[in-house]
């Protein structure tokens, strides 16, 4: 342990943290680049080449030039995901409620004597399937 002093451990941890954050930022920029629908194919290719060939300069220039619109695209994606989730929940909840309503109506018909128990069982199986 004497060969590696405490300050060297802190320095190594800091470098590792910065290295991980650098990859996070690099992937965030590349993801944002492909998420942007306003940028054409040649523009995306140019930015990607810049970011991959000269990573530090490319990412910094990308953040300076297109940093404001990154937040807007992130917000749009979050809103789209929220809308899709709401739609799924409403569709799923609506389907379950519809089945319950149909079963209630079917039970009422059976209670009134309009359908037999055998017809009720067949219709119930059909609704639940």
pLDDT, one tens digit per residue, over 27-44 is: 999 999 998 888 899 999
Burial 23-46 (b: 16+ CB within 10 A, else e): eeebeebbebbeebeebeeeeeee
Residue 71, classed as helix, strand or coil, is helix
pLDDT in the model for residue 110: 86
What would the pLDDT profile of 74-126 be if each residue is shown by its tens digit?
898 899 999 999 988 888 776 555 677 788 888 888 888 888 888 888 888 88
Looking at residue 89, its pLDDT comes to 85
* CA separation for the pair 18, 25 (Å, rounded): 10
Confidence band of 57 (pLDDT split at 50, 70, 90): very high
Rounded to whole angstroms, the Cα distance separating 99 from 3 reads 72
Whether 77 contacts 44, CB under 8 Å: no
Buried residues in 98-127 as b, exposed as e (16+ CB within 10 A)? eeeeeeeebeeebeeeebeeeebeebbeee
């Amino acid at each position: 342990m004497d060969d590696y002093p405490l300050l060297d451990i802190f320095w190594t941890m800091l470098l590792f943290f910065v290295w991980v954050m650098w990859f996070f930022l690099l992937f965030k920029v590349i993801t944002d680049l492909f998420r942007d629908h306003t940028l054409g194919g040649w523009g995306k290719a140019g930015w990607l080449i810049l970011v991959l060939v000269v990573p530090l300069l490319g990412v910094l220039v990308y953040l300076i030039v297109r940093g404001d619109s990154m937040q807007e695209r992130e917000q749009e994606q979050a809103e789209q995901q929220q809308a899709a989730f709401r739609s799924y929940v409403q569709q799923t909840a609506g389907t379950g409620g519809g089945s319950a309503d149909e079963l209630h109506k079917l039970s009422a018909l059976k209670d009134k004597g309009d359908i037999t128990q055998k017809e009720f069982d067949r219709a119930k199986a059909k609704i639940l399937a």
